[in-house]
Amino acid sequence: MICRKKDFEEAYLAECVWAISENAYPYGSPWTKMQFLTDIQQPHTDYLLLVEDNQICGFVGYSKVMDEVEITNIAVAVSEQGKGYARHLLHLLIAEQIKDSLHVFLEVRLSNEAARKLYESEKFRILGKRKSYYRNPTEDAIIMSRKLKTETIK
């Protein structure tokens, strides 16, 4: 089942997505619980949450400003990885946003080959690099973008 941030109490949701993120990445979560909570409280952000057996087992967090969408976080619980859930969440987000957004973009850790392959297979292209973007350990981020629709000029 897919839920949204409005379906959960904010502090509980922040705790859940932080725990998933903390365990899903080799270096732990790139965000603290407080950063997740602050993000959840923003009016221009939303989360698509994959819920199985009353447990959040995956999520994609994003913000939308005007006609651009930024994926801020995407993670799947370790026990649920390899089942295509990250791709499913990405598909849901794109299908939802394709109507009125021009681009979706994200940053991904240079060493996160699995995520980079997923994004490339979903038509994301590399735009550039952010030097020393990630901490613990310090590492560059790759900026990726996917065009959702072509702007028409009348």
pLDDT in tens, 59-80: 999 999 999 999 999 999 999 9
How large is the average pLDDT for residues 83-103? 94
Task: Please give the single-letter amino acid code of residue 34.
Answer: M
Does residue 122 have an active-site annotation? Answer: no
- What is the average per-residue pLDDT within 129-150? 92
pLDDT at 150: 59
Could you give the CA distance from residue 143 to residue 129 in angstroms, rounded to a whole number? Answer: 6
Active-site annotation holder among 62, 85, 107, 134 = 107
Q: What angle do CA 9, 11, 59 make, to 5 degrees?
A: 80
Listed by start position, the domains of the chain span 2-147
With 90 as the cut, is the pLDDT of residue 127 above it? yes
Question: What average pLDDT does range 13-18 have in this prediction?
Answer: 98
C-alpha span between 97 and 130 (Å, rounded): 25
**Per-residue confidence (pLDDT) for residue 154, from 0 to 100:** 46
Q: Using DSSP, state whether 40 is helix, strand or coil.
A: helix
What pLDDT score was predicted for residue 81? 95
Taking the domain 2-147, which CATH number applies? Answer: 3.40.630.30
> Catalytic one among 47, 62, 119, 134?
119
119 is catalytic: yes
Residue with tokens 């973007």: 133
Predicted model pTM? 0.91
CB 73 within 8 A of CB 13: no
